[in-house]
Structure 1
């Protein structure tokens, strides 16, 4: 009797995410993933072409969750309130989702047509649409890059600031990105 296949792409991505979070990106290899899933490495190639595609798909699945969260939380907001909410939601997701933040720091290793890059572009386009309804103009690249940098430093400096200080410093950084463009549009 043939054994019924219980593996699917969702299970592969979930286990890869778990490996990234528990063992790190360098340990998230096809052999280690196969071992964690209790299958042979060759079985994984039914679902992904290689490790790069696997990691891109993991990140893309995490970014889709971020995108859905952004859509829900931005409803009814405009102006600087919407920009701050956009930045806050991205920051909070990256703080919670270690796998996503690790993969985004390695984004330069993925091709422009990868699933990861395509999903990131949706986030940036959402930010661009958000700015159409406000007088504040800020480069989405600068905004998302600043949020990523802040999350990285926040992890390094954990417990060196109170949560209130960290929140205040974060919002000051976001405001400094926005304020120069707001001032230029008023001149």
Structure 2
């Protein structure tokens, strides 16, 4: 039996449904047909909210980046220095664990230079720069450090999601060791 059609869908409801598909089945399964089926509507109805699959991918990227920010921001409250870097690092990796499809969507905007995508990403960068302020990094050096931290966290998350860590070792301990090495490297530079 098909789900009952929904009247007056809001974009956030649509993106949440797309995120559920992505988290369970992978981002490649987020198609207009699959999304419409999940929502109990006809695929053409989705064109009221975005321009085809490319528009959906853009909205999902922005949605995912905003979800990531909402996970990171509270982890940085009331902490600073090493503790703050460890907190946002754990929040980042935990977000990727809980929402692998939504996390993947953050990287799949059709045009990463799009102003709306850039604006969403800027919040994450600004938060990261604020967390790294304790290390007295300014200007480009702060941005290089943010890139480095993101590279570590994305690499760790991607390897974990693809099953790349087969050894019987606690992944959270591995992450903590890696982040502490990053912190020590920032102090040494």
For the residue of structure 1 that corresponds to 2:48, the secondary structure is coil
Query: Structure 1 pair 75/22, CA: closer, same or farther in 2 (3 Å)?
Result: closer
CA contact (8 A) 1:69 1:89 kept: yes
For structure 2, the 5+ residue unaligned runs are none
- Following superposition, the deviation at residue 171 of structure 1 comes to 1.7
- Following superposition, the deviation at residue 73 of structure 1 comes to 2.0
> Among residues 67, 77, 85, which one is paired with 1:65 in the alignment?
67
CA contact (8 A) 1:78 1:130 kept: yes
- Structure 1 stretches of at least 4 aligned residues deviating more than 6 Å after TM superposition: none
CA RMSD of aligned residues (A): 2.4
133-142 or 88-97, which deviates more: 133-142
Give the Cα separation in 2 of the matches to 1:172 and 1:128: 21
Kindly indicate whether residue 162 of structure 2 is the aligned counterpart of residue 161 of structure 1: no
Match of 1:140 in 2: 146
CA contact (8 A) 1:67 1:123 kept: yes
- Following superposition, the deviation at residue 114 of structure 1 comes to 5.3
What is the number of residues matched between the two proteins?
179
Give the Cα separation in 2 of the matches to 1:148 and 1:4: 36
Question: TM-score under structure 1 normalisation?
Answer: 0.81
Kindly indicate whether residue 177 of structure 2 is the aligned counterpart of residue 172 of structure 1: yes
For the residue of structure 1 that corresponds to 2:12, the secondary structure is helix
Question: TM-score under structure 2 normalisation?
Answer: 0.81
- Following superposition, the deviation at residue 89 of structure 1 comes to 1.0
Match of 2:129 in 1: 128
